Amino acid sequence: MKLTIIIPVYNEIKTVETLINKVLLSEVKKQVIVVDDFSSDGSRELILKYFKSKVDKIILHDKNYGKGAAIISAKKYISGDYVIIQDADLEYDPNQYQLFINEVKNKKIDALYGSRVLKKDKFNNVQNFSHKIRIWGNIFLTFISNIINGQKLTDAHTCYKMIRSEIFKSINFTEKGFSFCPELNTKLSNLGIKIYEIPINYNGRTYQDGKKITAFDGFRAIKTIIKFKYFKK
C-alpha cells in the first residue's frame, strides 16, 4: 500500500526540517508532497535547499492562501492508495503512519482519523490554560459536528485524516483555510462514508510556539458544517 503524505507549510522554520526528515525516514511506501503557502520566515528557502531532490513534489504558492488551499493544490498530484495530511509543526508523529496502514488493511476502511481524545494521557502535555481551553473547544466542536453530520467521532478536527485516495480526489473542496477540515468531515458524511478513529500521540504547542488556529476558526467551522450540510452539498 502506498501512502501520499501532503505537508502544508506556512512559516514553520523551527520545525519543518525535522518534520520532513521524520517523514522521509518513515518505513512506509510513500509519496511526499510539500506545499509552501508563501512562507516569509525562511521555510520556503530551507525546503528548496535541502529537500528539492528528496521529496516527490514541491508546490510554491505565490501568496498566503491558507491550509485548505495548500491541500487542494496537492490533490491533483496524489498517486498513493491513501492520502494523509501532515502538519509541519511536529504536533503529530510521522512514526505512526504504520498504525494507520495496519488499521485500514485489517478493516477495509475508507476514512480513518487519528484521535487526540482517545489517548488516555491526552492532558499530560497540556502546557497552559489556553491549551486546555483549545482541547475542550475541540471537544465541543466535535459534539456539534456529530449532531449535524450524524457521526460518532471523538476528534473531528484532528489534523491526522487518512482517506482512500479515489474518494478524496472525487470531492470538490472549496474551503481555503482551516475550515477545510469541517468541509471534509461534512462531505464524507454526505457521501455516506463512515469515519473510523484510532488513538494517536499528540504534542500540542502554544501560540508562543507558533500555533495559528484561533477561536474565530472555531466559529467558522460551525458555519462551514451548516453550509455544506444544508446549502451546498
- At 28-59, the pLDDT tens digits run 999 999 999 999 999 999 999 999 999 999 99
Residue 127 has pLDDT above 60, yes or no: no
For residue 59, report the phi and psi dihedrals to the nearest 5 degrees: -115, 130
Mean pLDDT (whole number) for 191-218:
77
Mean pLDDT (whole number) for 203-222:
69
Percentage of the chain with pLDDT > 90?
76
* pTM, rounded to two decimals: 0.91
Cα torsion angle, 61, 62, 67, 68, sign: negative
Q: Where are the domains of the chain?
A: 3-231
pLDDT at 138: 84
- At 146-179, the pLDDT tens digits run 999 999 999 999 999 999 999 999 999 999 998 9
* Residue 230 buriedness (CB in 10 A; 0-12 / 13-18 / 19+): exposed
- Third-level CATH fold of 3-231: Spore Coat Polysaccharide Biosynthesis Protein SpsA; Chain A (3.90.550)
Residue 233 has pLDDT above 80, yes or no: no
Output the DSSP codes for 56-86. SEEEE-SS---HHHHHHHHHTT--SSEEEE-
